[in-house]
């Protein structure tokens, strides 16, 4: 089964993906991680994406699509994959459907994490990320054992540029304009969960029971 996670930036897609990886042995593909890896390796696609990410904007469709296709083909990840952060637009969604069909695969279900904007804004402005392993912390709800230092590798914790207040506003606006139309595109494949009514354990159980995974 292939799953797509949809929701506002900071809605919990990464946290839920960790559970799917651990409990259901699925593979997690985060476009954020893909971008960072390509940027660190100074690939052409990575350098092209860098200027958009640093200003809090979404990367243009053709760059993102090529990066995802390259990743899936090289690793032969046509099944049991969690899509996190891709597709972000209807054009990307159409490209993904076509690509998967060409390779005898498909996107089975779309999990929409419904959450209030004020909650994600508060999460993002307090988010910290390990400079090495990319583990995510929150100053208020998931603080590291030692201030400013990752629990796992002792590396420095940073605030991502796209989590700065001015860039959070841009990301939310772009999401509303470009990504929210996916709810209509994926209408028949959508599984909606309002996270405001659940803690993380209840949320996970609701999804597992609803999708029978």
Residues annotated as part of the active site? 13, 88, 127, 160, 171
Angle between helices 13-24 and 200-211 (to 10 degrees): 60
Cα separation, 90 vs 194, in Å, equals 23
Helix (H) / strand (E) element for 126: namely: none
Give the bridge partners for 192, in sequence order: 112
Report cis status (omega within 30 of 0) of the bond before 156. no
Tokens linked to 164: 């700065």
Where are the alpha helices (H) located in 54-189, listed in sequence order?
Answer: 61-75, 90-102, 117-125, 165-174, 182-185
């Amino acid at each position: 089964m292939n799953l797509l996670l949809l929701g506002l930036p900071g809605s919990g897609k990464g946290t839920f993906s960790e559970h799917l990886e651990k409990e259901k042995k699925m593979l997690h593909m985060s476009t954020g991680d893909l971008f960072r890896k390509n940027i660190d390796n100074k690939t052409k696609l990575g350098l092209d994406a860098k200027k958009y990410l640093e200003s809090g904007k979404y990367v243009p469709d053709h760059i993102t699509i090529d990066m995802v296709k390259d990743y899936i083909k090289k690793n032969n990840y046509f099944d049991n994959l969690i899509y996190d952060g891709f597709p972000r637009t209807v054009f990307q969604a159409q490209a993904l459907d076509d690509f998967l069909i060409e390779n005898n695969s498909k996107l089975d279900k779309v999990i929409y994490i419904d959450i209030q904007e004020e909650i994600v804004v508060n999460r993002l402005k307090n988010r910290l990320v390990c400079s090495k392993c990319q583990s995510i912390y929150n100053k208020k709800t998931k603080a590291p054992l030692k201030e400013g230092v990752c629990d796992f590798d002792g590396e420095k914790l940073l605030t991502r540029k796209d989590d700065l207040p001015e860039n959070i506003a841009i990301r939310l606006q772009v999401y509303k304009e470009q990504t929210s139309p996916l709810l209509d595109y994926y209408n028949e494949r959508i599984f909606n969960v309002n996270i405001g009514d659940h803690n993380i354990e209840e949320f996970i159980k609701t999804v597992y029971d609803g999708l029978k995974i």
